């Protein structure tokens, strides 16, 4: 399960507050959402939107801070990013997430995805890095016809997730080697040759 009741989530980018409200509902009143937002002017409108959906915001903390500069919290369960350059936040995310914690990022272009995925790989503390494109296709359903609508939103954005794991050994390539005393294998064994002749 990506989000669960009782989880602690750090969010990068408050925006209109819609995602924040969804996160608050997901973690319930036993969890916590900590949002980093650099533009203080969006706070009043966003908070009004959030309170319309979730009147109790006692488990929401909003910090007027740049998430690219790092995350104060530690042992966080999830980090959710809706920011234009998520790769800049990767070092701070690696420091903040608990082992096995998940990062999720939404961006509109594949070039942003590429930069993020490369940064996650270079950091070395993330595995199971996956990206997917989000599409929306509605359906036309009547008594005589069931088919996709002729028009659709063919693209809305890309989601990338990654799991915080132990750092990979730096600069070490794992190669299978033969144990001392093993006879080098030049090709198929005699037994294999015998089977082919049968």
Of 166 and 9, more confident: 9
**Which residues 6+ apart lie within 8 Å of 192 measured at CB?**
none
| pLDDT for the residue 155 | 83
Residue 118 included in any domain: yes
- Residue 97's contacts (CB-CB under 8 Å, 6 or more residues apart) are 76, 77, 78, 79, 103, 164
Mean pLDDT across the stretch 55-75?
96
- CATH code at 39? 3.40.50.150
Tally of domains within the chain: 1
The whole-angstrom separation of Cα 34 and Cα 72 is 10
If pLDDT is split at 50, 70 and 90, which confidence band does 170 have?
Answer: low
Its domain, for residue 62, covers: 8-169
Over residues 38-63, the pLDDT tens digits come to: 999 999 999 999 999 998 999 999 99
pLDDT at 190 over 60: no
CB of 80 closer than 8 Å to CB of 23: yes
On whether residue 153 sits in a domain, the answer given is yes
Residue 165 lies in a domain: yes
Which range has the top average pLDDT, 131-140, 146-155, 182-191?
131-140
Within a domain: 140: yes
Average pLDDT, the chain: 87
Residue 98 domain-assigned? Answer: yes
Residue 36 lies in a domain: yes
List of E strands, the chain = 8-12, 32-36, 60-63, 76-81, 97-107, 126-136, 139-141, 146-148, 153-164
Q: Please tell me the pTM assigned to this model.
A: 0.78
Q: If DSSP codes are grouped into helix, strand and coil, which group holds residue 39?
A: coil
Flag whether pLDDT at 192 surpasses 70: no
**99 within a domain of the structure (yes/no):** yes
Whole-number Å distance between alpha carbons of 89 and 116: 9
Q: For residue 115, tell me if it sits in a domain.
A: yes
Helical spans, DSSP H, in 81-168: 90-96, 110-123
């Amino acid at each position: 399960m990506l989000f669960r009741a009782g989880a602690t989530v750090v969010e990068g980018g408050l925006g209109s507050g819609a995602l924040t409200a969804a996160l608050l509902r997901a973690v319930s009143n036993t969890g916590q959402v900590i949002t980093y937002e650099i533009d203080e002017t969006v706070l009043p409108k966003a908070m009004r939107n959030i309170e319309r959906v979730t009147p109790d915001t006692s488990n929401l903390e909003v910090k007027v801070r740049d998430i690219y500069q790092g995350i104060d919290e530690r042992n966080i369960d999830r980090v959710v990013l809706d920011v234009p350059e998520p790769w800049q936040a990767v070092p701070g995310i690696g420091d903040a997430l608990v082992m096995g914690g998940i990062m999720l990022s939404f961006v509109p272009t594949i070039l942003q995805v590429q930069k993020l995925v490369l940064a996650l790989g270079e950091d070395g503390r993330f595995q199971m890095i996956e990206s997917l494109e989000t599409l929306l296709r509605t359906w036309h359903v009547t008594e005589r016809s069931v088919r996709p609508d002729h028009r659709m939103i063919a693209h809305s954005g890309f989601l990338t997730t990654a799991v915080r794991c132990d750092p990979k050994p730096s600069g070490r390539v794992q190669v299978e080697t033969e144990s001392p005393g093993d006879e080098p294998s030049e090709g198929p064994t005699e037994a294999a040759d015998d089977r082919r002749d049968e």
